[in-house]
């Protein structure tokens, strides 16, 4: 329960801040988010969750930059058919200036996504790279 309060507390606070303040606050918060996802991954060491690993990788990217996270995302096994892993990879590649690879990853995410809102977002990101 304390983790849910932390998540919603952070999100609520960020919504009340200016964009610059929220960005700085998120950067300061990322170490605790990374620790949270590491702890969640240890809850059942016999069944590690690739989704928890993906969330941890995103927190690492927010704290350390896209290149640090890209290696973590590419090590995750078991999410090949999960559109959000491809969307995450695409965003990290885009932020790293690797537009061609990002476009391929966005296309793969788009192929797998079924939610219309997510598809619209992915289509827009893909068109921005063209």
In terms of domains, do 7 and 42 share one? yes
Q: What is the mean pLDDT of residues 83-89?
A: 93
Q: Does residue 92 surpass a pLDDT of 80? A: yes
Q: What is the mean pLDDT of residues 6-26?
A: 49
How high is the pLDDT of residue 42? 64
In terms of domains, do 4 and 41 share one? yes
Q: Does residue 87 surpass a pLDDT of 50? A: yes
How high is the pLDDT of residue 40? 62
Q: Does residue 75 surpass a pLDDT of 60? A: yes
Q: Does residue 35 surpass a pLDDT of 90? A: no
Q: Give the C-alpha separation, 115 to 58, whole Å.
A: 21
Query: Between the CA of residue 42 and those of 52, 59, 107, what are the distances in Å?
Result: 10, 17, 33
Q: Does residue 74 surpass a pLDDT of 90? A: no
How high is the pLDDT of residue 80? 92
Mean pLDDT across the chain: 76
> The whole model's pTM is what?
0.68
In terms of domains, do 57 and 8 share one? yes
In terms of domains, do 68 and 102 share one? no
Alpha carbon dihedral 5, 79, 44, 34, in 10-degree steps, equals -40
Q: What is the mean pLDDT of residues 11-19?
A: 47
In terms of domains, do 54 and 109 share one? no
In terms of domains, do 11 and 74 share one? yes
In terms of domains, do 73 and 85 share one? no
In terms of domains, do 70 and 85 share one? no
In terms of domains, do 64 and 2 share one? yes
Q: How many domains does the chain have?
A: 2
In terms of domains, do 70 and 91 share one? no
Answer whether 128's CB lies under 8 Å from 106's CB: no
Range of the domain at 32: 1-79
Q: What is the DSSP string of the chain?
A: -HHHHHHHHHHHHHHTS-HHHHHHHHHHHHHHHHHHHHHHHHSSTTS--HHHHHHHHHHHHHHH-HHHHHHHHHH--S-TT-HHHHHHHHHHHHHTT-HHHHHHHHHHHHHH---HHHHHHHHHHHHHT-
How high is the pLDDT of residue 27? 64
The region of weakest confidence among 45-49, 93-97, 114-118, 126-130 is 45-49
């Amino acid at each position: 329960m304390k983790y849910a309060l932390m998540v919603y507390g952070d999100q609520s606070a960020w919504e009340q801040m200016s964009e610059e303040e929220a960005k700085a606050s998120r950067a300061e918060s990322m170490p605790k988010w990374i620790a949270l996802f590491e702890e969640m991954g240890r809850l059942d060491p016999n069944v590690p969750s690739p989704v928890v690993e993906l969330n941890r990788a995103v927190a690492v990217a927010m704290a350390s930059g896209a290149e640090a996270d890209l290696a973590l995302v590419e090590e995750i096994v078991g999410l090949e058919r999960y559109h959000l892993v491809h969307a995450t990879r695409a965003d990290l590649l885009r932020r790293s200036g690797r537009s061609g690879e990002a476009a391929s990853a966005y296309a793969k995410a788009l192929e797998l996504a079924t939610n219309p809102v997510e598809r619209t977002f992915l289509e827009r990101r893909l068109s921005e790279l063209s």
